[in-house]
């Protein structure tokens, strides 16, 4: 079963998408031929247990409307569930931030697949809101940048840099095995605050 967006792309590539966009009172022979092809594609794209929805539908427009009526309601319920999941996600410092990115991206992909409209800036904001207080310095620094620079890839890169510095910071008591910075030994702790570069 393809989702609505995938089905629209398939129909557009076959140059028959117009059949689901309008229903003509007196279609010409060419439109009838396209509509027949469109109905065939729709039937092939839906799961067997959903074919009942398409029975007694004379045109691909009617078929599409029947599918929309059912799956848009289901899509809204899925969106609400996934948006709540996204809003309640929290990064725990005991896990690798790369693994957290994978889980976060998966929820975003699921949201998009059920029809949610998410701009890049929305995704970035959601990600930053899931971070603990130890990330406040980098979040504050990112907030000062131009929105156009705050792509998801850019922000992830800065978060990875911050995590690497935090893990190697002697004030946190967390060193990466074999990578204890010898040049920091003997320096005062108040001098160890790493600068942020962008």
For residue 15 the two structure tokens come to: 């140059």
Long-range interactions of 123-131: CB distance < 8 A, separation 24+: 123/152, 124/150, 124/151, 124/152, 124/155, 126/86, 126/87, 127/152, 127/155, 127/156, 127/159, 128/155, 130/89, 130/90, 130/91, 130/104, 131/91, 131/159
Residue with tokens 């839906």: 46
Measured CA to CA, the distance from residue 79 to residue 31 in angstroms comes to 35
Instruction: List per-residue pLDDT tens for the chain, 198 residues long.
Output: 555 567 778 888 888 888 988 888 888 999 999 999 998 888 888 777 778 888 888 898 988 888 877 766 656 778 888 899 999 999 998 899 999 999 999 999 888 877 788 888 899 999 999 999 989 999 999 989 888 888 999 999 999 998 888 777 655 545 444 444 444 334 433 443 444 443
Decide: 69 and 47 in contact? Cβ < 8 Å. Answer: no
pTM, rounded to two decimals = 0.53
Residues 6+ apart with CB under 8 A from 21: 61
Q: What angle do CA 11, 32, 27 make, to 5 degrees?
A: 115
Of 136, 127, 117, the closest CA to residue 155 belongs to 127
Of 178, 177, 135, 183, the closest CA to residue 156 belongs to 135
């Amino acid at each position: 079963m393809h989702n609505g967006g995938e089905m629209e792309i398939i129909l557009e590539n076959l140059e028959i998408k117009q059949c689901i966009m309008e229903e003509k009172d007196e279609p010409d022979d060419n439109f009838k031929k396209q509509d027949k092809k469109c109905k065939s594609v729709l039937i092939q794209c839906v799961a067997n247990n959903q074919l009942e929805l398409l029975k007694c539908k004379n045109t691909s427009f009617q078929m599409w409307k029947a599918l929309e009526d059912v799956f848009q309601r289901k899509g809204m319920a899925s969106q609400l569930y996934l948006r709540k999941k996204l809003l309640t996600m929290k990064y725990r410092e005991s896990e690798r931030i790369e693994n957290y990115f994978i889980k976060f991206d998966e929820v975003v992909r699921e949201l998009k697949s059920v029809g949610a409209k998410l701009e890049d800036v929305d995704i970035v904001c959601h990600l930053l809101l899931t971070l603990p207080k130890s990330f406040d310095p980098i979040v504050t620094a990112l907030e000062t940048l131009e929105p156009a620079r705050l792509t998801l890839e850019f922000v992830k890169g800065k978060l990875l840099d911050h995590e690497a510095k935090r893990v190697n910071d002697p004030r946190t008591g967390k060193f990466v095995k074999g990578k204890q910075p010898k040049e920091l030994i003997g320096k005062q702790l108040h001098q160890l605050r790493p600068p942020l570069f962008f």
